[in-house]
Amino acid sequence: MANYIIVGSGAAGVAAAGAIRREDPHGNIIVFTNDPYVYYSRPGLAYLLAGEVPQNQLFPLTKEYFHGLKIQIIKQTVQSISPVQHLVFTSDGKNFRYDRLLLATGATATLPNVPGINLAGVEKLDTMEDAESIIKNTRKAKTAVVIGGGITALELAEGMAACDVKVHYFLRGDRYWSSVLDETESKMVEKHLTDIGIQIHYFTDLVEINGKNGKVRGITAKEKDNRVEIDCQIVAFAIGIKPRINLAVQAGLKTQRGILVDSELRTSQADIFAAGDVAQVYDQLSDEYLVDSLWRPAIEQGWTAGLNMAGGNYAYVKKYPFNVTRLGGLITTIIGRVGKEILEEKTLNGDADVLGIMRGDSEVWRKQSLGMVAQTYQEDNRIRLYINENNLTGAIVMGDQTLSRPLQILIREKIDISLIRERLLDPNNSLVDTLNYFWEEYSRNHA
């Protein structure tokens, strides 16, 4: 009887456990986690913070689900791994033997090294516990400062604004999420933020978090050449995430920004796998190993890793990543390569507000799309496409999402769009009408 150990109870870990059980009805499956809530919808935390959904709706799986599949959940931290002995060692001094091991340890939010970082009232949005802490603090707080970029920064800013907290949002540059959005898209988001009362500070750097009796009481910042003091009770950061690779490093596995894996999601040790935010996966299009922090790829990677842990021989092929999210009140789909310039490895992100990537983000989005750009903009609706000779390689859809699903398929499946290429690039032609007509014809012919 095989012993399977999974470290991490997020999307990748739970998907892997389900896949293992499907292939091996009798093997022992243990999932180690240090999250007291075990498994929940991480993307749903934003809606919890804004008061749009109750907490119980973020738990899609019950205890009975794990019990029914005979998956043992142990709430202990794995402190080290011995690949030679096939053992994991936990924080309570115990050890467990494995035949196959999955590292699905995810990523953790990065915090800056500034004075006052350890004061009560300094927040991030990593876990359910973080969301609970923010909600608790907003009940008494009058003012909050949000620092960072990407999707998580807006989740924090909009969530606290929904709780009637005055929010100051610091940007180090001249606009929001410059590594993924263009100027038009950034301004669309920023307009919504100011419309709901969020005050944006451009070219602003945090200098110090000021405290009293161990709690946040304000900040000192530099805004252009001016010194700024703001009284506040919450300082929230969204400056990036870092894959949790400590166990892999300790075990001698090959790592870069994440844990390097092959097409079967095996690490440099054949009986140890990695999946989810911690895995650095090969991307055929760029010929590089890249990191995602997206819910669906984490599930797909976990499922594939689980099948292979149970004796399968399945390849995980990284496709164009996409995410459908909400930016500044606008439903937004981001697909594939939407970067505008080639970035050096040391500045892979290219965004002054984010170190690396955020949750709900992908390194692929920063990659330059070598094709030409076609775009349209009307009020709160925006489409930006990248087009090579025969295919679409990237897209951003903001507002009206009618074309979101078709564009996902056209890009993911590399559908030949050469017949409409010139029309898409013609500024006098309706991009939306052209895409709609092409999609109707394609759907009819492939029904």
The tally of domains found in the chain comes to 3
Q: Are residues 182 and 220 in the same domain?
A: yes
Residue position matching structure tokens 């096939």: 86
Q: For every one of its 447 residues, what pLDDT tens digit does the chain have, with 9 covering 90 and above? A: 999 999 999 999 999 999 999 999 999 999 999 999 999 999 999 999 999 999 999 999 998 999 999 999 999 999 999 999 999 999 999 999 999 999 999 999 999 999 999 999 999 999 999 999 999 999 999 999 999 999 999 999 999 999 999 999 999 999 999 989 999 999 999 999 999 999 999 999 999 999 999 999 999 999 988 999 999 999 999 999 999 999 999 999 999 999 999 999 999 999 999 999 999 999 887 889 999 999 999 999 999 999 999 999 999 998 888 999 999 889 999 998 887 544 434 344 457 888 888 899 988 887 766 678 889 988 899 999 999 989 999 999 999 999 999 999 999 999 999 999 999 999 999 999 999 999 999 998 887
Q: Are residues 125 and 197 in the same domain?
A: yes
Q: Are residues 127 and 100 in the same domain?
A: no
Q: Are residues 104 and 115 in the same domain?
A: no
Q: Are residues 223 and 116 in the same domain?
A: yes
- CATH code, domain carrying 426: 3.30.390.30
* Number of residues assigned to the chain: 447
Neighbour count for residue 142 (Cβ, 10 Å): 12
Residue where a domain stops, chosen among 238, 263, 278: 238
Domain residues for 13? 3-108+241-309
**Domain membership flag for residue 342:** yes
**Domain membership flag for residue 314:** no
- CATH code, domain carrying 166: 3.50.50.60
Q: Are residues 304 and 342 in the same domain?
A: no
Q: Are 201 and 221 in contact (CB under 8 A)?
A: yes
Q: How far is CA 151 from CA 34, 107, 439, in A?
A: 25, 15, 29
Instruction: Give the list of residues 6+ apart from residue 404 with CB closer than 8 angstroms, or none.
Output: 324, 333, 397
Residue-wise burial string across 77-109, b where 16 or more C-beta atoms lie within 10 A, e elsewhere = ebeebebeebbbebeeeeebebebbbbbbbbeb
Gyration radius of the chain's alpha carbons? 23
Q: Are residues 103 and 35 in the same domain?
A: yes
Residue where a domain stops, chosen among 283, 309, 335: 309
Residue where a domain stops, chosen among 238, 253, 288: 238
Q: Are residues 147 and 181 in the same domain?
A: yes
**Domain membership flag for residue 133:** yes
User: Of all helices (H) and strands (E), which one includes residue 246?
Assistant: helix 246-250
pTM of the model: 0.93
